[in-house]
């Protein structure tokens, strides 16, 4: 089993990235929310990974935090939710939000995820509610917030650029693709980033 990979960001696609490790390019599927948090192309970064093997395919799934990976592993234990479904849930709502939705038995919050109806959301709550405790959920949220602050500078700038492009009429997917082509640094202002994005189109 591959615990994690650390390498260079070679390519960013809509649902996966290519990470170069030792002259080998690994295609790794990520939640959409994680793709927005990636560093610029050519940067070295780390992904916690899950290798899924089927008779007809071998797929590698990646996560920026161990918490997301552990949540993914829990989600795929639910009857009827496969790796792609679990990835869709983590793209729509965070691991913290999943925990609180399960504890509150809020199936509507989970059903926001693409391909997850109220019936599947209800099944997810039923099968996972004994896995979480409210106190632990709050503790994990504080840990995740602290980790987020470490990378929040670049993340916030990317978010602002994506939002600005959607206001200008680009779809969220196109905005993400444009922003991923820009090498964003801490020194750049939001205006400078937006100007570079518009030059790309």
Provide the domain count of the chain.
2
Q: What is the pLDDT of residue 14?
A: 84
* Residue ranges making up the domain that contains 166: 150-200
Q: What is the pLDDT of residue 193?
A: 86
Q: What is the pLDDT of residue 153?
A: 58
176 and 113 in a common domain: no
> Which of 95, 120, 126 is CA-nearest to residue 108?
120
154 and 72 in a common domain: no
Query: CATH no. for residue 85?
Result: 2.40.50.140
128 and 186 in a common domain: no
Whole-number average pLDDT of the chain: 85
Task: With a cut of 60, say whether residue 151 has pLDDT above it.
Answer: no
152 against 59, higher pLDDT:
59
pLDDT band at 201 (very low <50, low <70, confident <90, very high): confident
117 and 42 in a common domain: yes
Q: What is the pLDDT of residue 5?
A: 93
Q: What is the pLDDT of residue 61?
A: 96
Residue 56 inside a domain? The answer is yes
Given a contact cutoff of 8 angstroms between Cβ atoms, the answer to whether 112 and 92 are in contact is: yes
95 and 8 in a common domain: yes
186 and 98 in a common domain: no
For the segment 189-199, the average pLDDT, to the nearest whole number, is 85
Lowest-confidence pick of 8-17, 89-98, 178-187: 178-187
Q: What is the pLDDT of residue 154?
A: 62
165 and 92 in a common domain: no
Q: What is the pLDDT of residue 30?
A: 95
110 and 22 in a common domain: yes
171 and 90 in a common domain: no
107 and 48 in a common domain: yes
pLDDT, tens only, 30-69? 998 888 888 888 889 899 999 999 888 899 999 998 999 9
Task: With a cut of 80, say whether residue 109 has pLDDT above it.
Answer: yes
């Amino acid at each position: 089993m591959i615990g994690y990979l650390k390498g260079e960001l070679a390519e960013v696609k809509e649902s996966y990235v290519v990470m170069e490790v030792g002259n080998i390019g690994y295609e790794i599927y990520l939640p959409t929310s994680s793709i927005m948090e990636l560093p610029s192309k050519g940067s070295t970064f780390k992904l916690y990974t899950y290798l899924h093997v089927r008779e007809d395919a071998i797929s590698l799934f990646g996560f920026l935090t161990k918490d997301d990976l552990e949540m993914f592993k829990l989600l795929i234990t639910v009857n009827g939710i496969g790796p792609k479904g679990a990835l869709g849930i983590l793209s729509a709502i965070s691991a913290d939000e999943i925990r609180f939705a399960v504890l509150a038995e809020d199936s509507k919050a989970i059903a926001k995820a693409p391909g997850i109806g109220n019936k599947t959301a209800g099944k997810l709550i039923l099968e996972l509610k004994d896995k979480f405790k409210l106190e632990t959920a709050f503790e994990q949220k504080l840990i995740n917030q602290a980790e987020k602050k470490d990378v929040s500078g670049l993340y916030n700038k990317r978010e602002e650029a994506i939002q600005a492009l959607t206001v200008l009429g680009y779809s969220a997917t196109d905005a993400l693709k444009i922003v991923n082509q820009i090498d964003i640094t801490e020194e750049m202002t939001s205006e400078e980033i937006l100007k570079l994005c518009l030059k790309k189109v």
